[in-house]
Amino acid sequence: LEQEFNKPLVDWTLRLLACSRRGLSGPELVELTQNLGEGADDLYPVLRQLRPYLHVRDGLFDFYHMSIRRAVEVRYLRWYTEEDQRDPWVRWNPERQPPAIEPSEPERETRERLIDFFETNRFDAGSVDELPWQLSQLQSWQRLFDLLGNLMFFDAAWQAGKFEVRTAWSLVKTVGQLDPIKAYREALANPGKYDRDAMWRLAGYLQDSGYGTAVVPLWSFFIDQFRSTGDDFRLGDCIGNQAGVLRDTGDLDGAMRLMKEQEAICRR
Structure confidence by residue, pLDDT tens digits, 120-152:
999 999 999 999 999 999 999 999 999 999 999
pLDDT at position 83 over 80: no
Per-residue pLDDT at 218: 87
Which is more confident, 227 or 159?
A: 159
Per-residue pLDDT at 94: 87
* CA gap 110, 222 in Å, rounded: 44
Confidence band of 71 (pLDDT split at 50, 70, 90): very high
* CA gap 22, 32 in Å, rounded: 16
Confidence band of 187 (pLDDT split at 50, 70, 90): very high
User: 3-class DSSP state for residue 178?
Assistant: coil
Structure confidence by residue, pLDDT tens digits, 195-232:
989 998 999 899 889 888 888 888 888 888 888 888 88
Percent of the chain with pLDDT over 90: 66
Per-residue pLDDT at 268: 85
Q: What average pLDDT does the chain have?
A: 91
Confidence band of 251 (pLDDT split at 50, 70, 90): confident
Average pLDDT over residues 6-35: 95
* CA gap 86, 104 in Å, rounded: 14
* CA gap 41, 189 in Å, rounded: 52
CB atoms within 10 A of CB 146: 14
Per-residue pLDDT at 84: 66
Per-residue pLDDT at 123: 94
pLDDT at position 159 over 70: yes
Indicate the pTM of the whole model: 0.88
Rounded to a whole number of angstroms, the CA Rg of the chain reads 23
Element (H, E) at 61: strand 60-63
Percent of the chain with pLDDT over 70: 99
